Structure 1
Amino acid sequence: MTGPGTNTYLLGNEQVAVLDPGPAIPEHIDAILAAGGDRIRWIVCTHTHPDHSPAWLAVAEATGAEVIGALAEDDRFQDKTFRPTVLLEHNWVLQTPEFTLRGLHTPGHVSNHYCFLLEEEGMLFAGDHIMNGSTVVIVPPGGDMKAYIESLELLLDYPLRTIAPGHGDVIQQPREEVAGLVAHRLARERKVVSGLAGLGQTGLDALVRVVYDDVDPARHEWAKLSLAAHLIKLEKDGRARHFVTDDSWEAVASGG
């Protein structure tokens, strides 16, 4: 689901920040240390899913670097080893003689997700908020579709020139990419509403075949995770109702 692997970025020359150290694979850790060595001062994590943060420990032990990130409640997918020395807040800034890195709280994929703007370059390190060549899966309860769309819209307030995703190649047209992602999610939401209207009270198994009829059925189990996130958003918006007894859903008429 995440292409060729997780991208780890090293920022700076004299003093280095490692952004998303990645999984605790010995060869990967060795490559980070070979590239940054004793110049590594900071380890910065976009979030704590196990393909993004676990190498923090080995790199921190080898270098004494500060560990910067945010914590999330366990949603079955968290790096339980993660222990930041600096807890992120929205608009946190790392200022060095070489670069300025600004942390932007972008919940949605998971509650503790941050993107980081390299201000001098206008480059956004997007973690799993935006991927190149793959759709971001939103997995409740840690994932929140309403927050995800709002976080995408937030990025349009910043002077982006490129996006460096957590997976895939650098994206050269950032504003078009972000606007396209928002449009895609809202179009999918309209299909959810239409599907509920057509099927009546229904469960995820039937609804996913209608809403994701453009997706290979082999991927429908993954699609059901994002479908659930769409339904929860619609419930928050007063446009869908959840029946806990049989885990089914129905549309709520306007004003109903």
Structure 2
Amino acid sequence: MMGEFPTGIAIELEPLVTRVLAPNASPYTYTGTQTHLVGVGDLAIIDPGPDDPAHIDALMAAVAGRPVTAIVVTHHHRDHSPATRPLQRLTGAPIVGAASVTVSDGGPRADAAFDADYAPDRVMAEGDRMSGAGWTLEAVATPGHTSNHLAFALPETKALFSGDHVMGWSTTIVSPPDGDMAAYMASLDKLMTRDDRVYYPGHGEAVENPRRLVRGMLGHRKQREGQILRLLRSADADVPAMVSRMYVGLDRRLVPAAERSVLAHLYDLRDRALVSEEGETWRIRS
């Protein structure tokens, strides 16, 4: 994609952070996956993206011969982690970050299916750190979009690489069985307690007022939950029927994603003993 969102070009966002956009734009990835390079001397590469030769070439051009300390992964969806393998061959850097997950993903989006070949050399957990010359990355556990999702804080500049947990263009899909709405909401609550200056997401522009956006995302999800409960109070329904009433005018390509998010809400409501299911039909629990 050229013009306003050029792919393959290294753009400095601040002295320690450079962004390279991958050419994998889609209804689910917006303009494409954004890979971030952290550092000036030695580098960390966050979410290297798809295994696309042009994107790999662009990343290596941005590296410009500097040592790569780590290839960092927020979560192993196919639009985020497959480029770890060619980059590791080219740089020798370890793959670190999110744990691998084995799960049958019934989600709708081909570009977000799990990367079955993802193999981290080091799994990071809440509070774990790595560092280079003038930079530190600290893992912030943010499950919900996936069970293994991590964000990474850059304390030197109070930036947060938010992956797909908080994006700069849309709310993220929460797709069971690995996506979990209760975990997602808890992770948003967790971010509200932080004082990060800016978020650099995997998709969409930088978020300059992150707490305001996160507050809005929490409100949006609570509104969706209330909408589901009101629909079920009026009549029992299955997920497609609920989506057709809740998402009027939605792009048909996005309907499967909406159905997965509604299902995630229903599972959360079921676990809280507010609704029950019989086959594919959901109803208010009496």
Alignment equivalent of 1:56, drawn from 61, 84, 92: 84
Native 8 Å contact 1:2 1:134 kept in 2: no
Corresponding residue SS for 1:213: coil
- The residue correspondences of 1:175-254 to structure 2 (distance < 5 A) are 175-199=211-235, 201-213=236-248, 215-216=250-251, 219-243=254-278, 246-253=279-286
* Structure 1 partner of 2:12: none
Identity %: 36
Native 8 Å contact 1:73 1:142 kept in 2: no
Deviations 1:40-97 (A, max 9, x none): 1200000000000000000011111011022122343111111111111111111333
Q: CA deviation at 1:123?
A: 0.9
1:9 counterpart letter in structure 2: H
* Structure 1 partner of 2:70: 42
1:156 aligns with 2:205: no
Alignment equivalent of 1:7, drawn from 34, 41, 58: 34
Normalized against structure 1, the TM-score is what?
Answer: 0.93
* Structure 2 partner of 1:74: 103
1:125 counterpart letter in structure 2: F
Structure 1: runs of 5+ lacking an equivalent: none
Closer/same/farther in 2, CA of residues 119 and 190 from structure 1, 3 Å limit: same
- The residue correspondences of 1:66-215 to structure 2 (distance < 5 A) are 66-69=94-97, 70-76=99-105, 77-199=113-235, 201-213=236-248, 215=250
Native 8 Å contact 1:102 1:116 kept in 2: yes
Native 8 Å contact 2:126 2:139 kept in 1: yes
Closer/same/farther in 2, CA of residues 219 and 81 from structure 1, 3 Å limit: closer
Deviations 1:216-235 (A, max 9, x none): 56633321110000000000
Structure 2: runs of 5+ lacking an equivalent: 1-27, 106-112
Separation (CA, whole Å) in 1 of partners of 2:84 and 2:252: 37
RMSD: 1.4
Native 8 Å contact 1:38 1:63 kept in 2: no
Separation (CA, whole Å) in 2 of partners of 1:93 and 1:13: 18
Separation (CA, whole Å) in 2 of partners of 1:157 and 1:89: 18
